[in-house]
Structure 1
Amino acid sequence: MSSSEGATAPPIADAPRGNWVERVAPAPLRPYLRLARLDRPIGSWLLLLPCWWSTSLAAIANDAPHPDLKLLVLFAVGAVAMRGAGCTWNDILDRKIDRQVARTRGRPIASGAVSVPAAFAFLVLQALIGLAVLLSLPHFAIVTGLASLGVVAVYPLMKRVTSVPQLILGIAFSWGALMGWAAVMRTIADPALLLFAGCVLWVFAYDTIYAHQDKEDDAIVGVRSTALLFGRASALAVGICYAFVVALFAAALLSVPVGVFSVLGLIGFALHLCWQVLRLDIDDPARCLAVFKSNRDAGLILFAGLALDTLIPNTIAPLLP
């Protein structure tokens, strides 16, 4: 799989310097690891967290003593594989655009470090890993997972035809909110649907923040984004989206119902989103990237609350009217 054309790929603008790929990975593998974004794990975290939330919420609804550990591990492996496959597919389709954008011109395909045929082969390898994970799940979850493939396939093209490609990304990245529930309960119910709707808006908002890094280049190249659509009103748009995220998540949690720890997790999650809006500076790309990445921490706060509710049951049902 390694290729002589890619042993020394140019640095990627938003990859942390001295990351493990640069430090310890064999040189022939580095372009492929960069192509899969393994030097930038934030995307895998953001794809994984809805899976973990949904799995934990289903465990609470099912009175399980803890979230299914096998599912948590399978979703982690699947998130890394499918995020890598999605990024590879995105970079194949966007290679000409990437060469025109400062932040992305160092990507392995755009820079020539990985050829398109080699990238296709790598895509197949990652997809097969993702398929192996999917086939390890119950039948209903397999069907649910397969239903997402169309959205995943068309997302990279959306920036060419709509000003809200972040909405399509939101649907693709939020599918895990359905998958965890489907794997545990063998069905889709209101808590999963509410969680999914909130996740879509969460992704829509945080990817709007992310898109502000490229807005000048995007305008020149002619691709669209919510950063360009909302412009100076982006912080307001993100704040409104985040408010609906918290409301939808609260509805999902209370429909189970959850315990005190989940409520505290949601409060911590909400406070983190408020902090993001206050900290956001759309004219500072480094600040935008940092705020975007902080969504992993927000998501882990919520997950911790949900997980603790299964380990230390303490339902708030008696407190509800």
Structure 2
Amino acid sequence: MIKFKNKIKPRVVCKYSRENRDSILGVGVGINITNEVDDRKNYIDKLIDSVNLLKKENTKTILLDNIYEFKYSEVVDIEKKTNLKVPYGRWIKVKLLPNVLMRICEYNDIDLYERNILIIGDDSEDTSEVIDSLADKVNYLSLVCEDCNFGMKMKGKILFNYGLSIETVKTVKDLKKYKVIINLNNNIDINPYRINKNTMIFDLSNSRKVSRNLNDKRKDVGSIEDFILVNKSNVNSDTEEFEMDKEVTSNIYDNLNDKVDLKHFAKIMVNKKMYTIEEMSKLFLNNKNNMSKFHVKC
């Protein structure tokens, strides 16, 4: 494992190991390239060259502390040219999604059962798991799928297991009728101006294309692009300056844990900023219950 930092010269800055164990799990690598390059491509090339210079034969993954600063195509390029895997933590977001969604609904007095839910899938096991996890909690669910066979299979499975008839389509024209949109597709394009203001959006895709588009064009709509978790791992750095954060993004949590503990959920990320459910609700959902509460003495 290489944990990437971009503050200092290309070198190993620390070693990570589990508490009370001598074996090294990985190293922290510092690469100061911000002021040495004049365009984005050179930035990525410099990063790749530095990682290839410092990685060992047994290095398997590279953790990007600031993964949300990278375009999906850049991360794919880094993986390809370093032959290292970049964890995205999507499976963690999939596991947490039902719990976080229900907590948001509970805080905002929203009846999820009466809401129209749209899942934009990628015909993967993750898509199947998301549908399975929500099928007993909703009454209206539509699935955008690339493969008609996948859609028919899911339609039959959900009807048999939950008695819920889901709608399967290849494209969606009317986005305004959906109050919850969950995206897992890396390549989907959504017209940001056809989404209602108070829509809950979860972008679980690795590319975060939907989130980026919304963040650029609809500041009034909050697209949740990650979940922040409490770091309860016993992984320590031999240098205090580079200790693991107490709260981490899903891609970092992914590399520190084999399974996800729902109790570790702490915050959500919208447009690279971290919010509690309460904070996000007041900013983007505009529910009456979320208005600031003042005690007025007459």
Larger Rg: 2
TM normalised by structure 2 equals 0.25
Q: Where is the helix percentage greater, Structure 1 or Structure 2? A: 1
Length-normalised TM-score, structure 1 = 0.24
Per residue, is there more strand in 1 or in 2?
Answer: 2
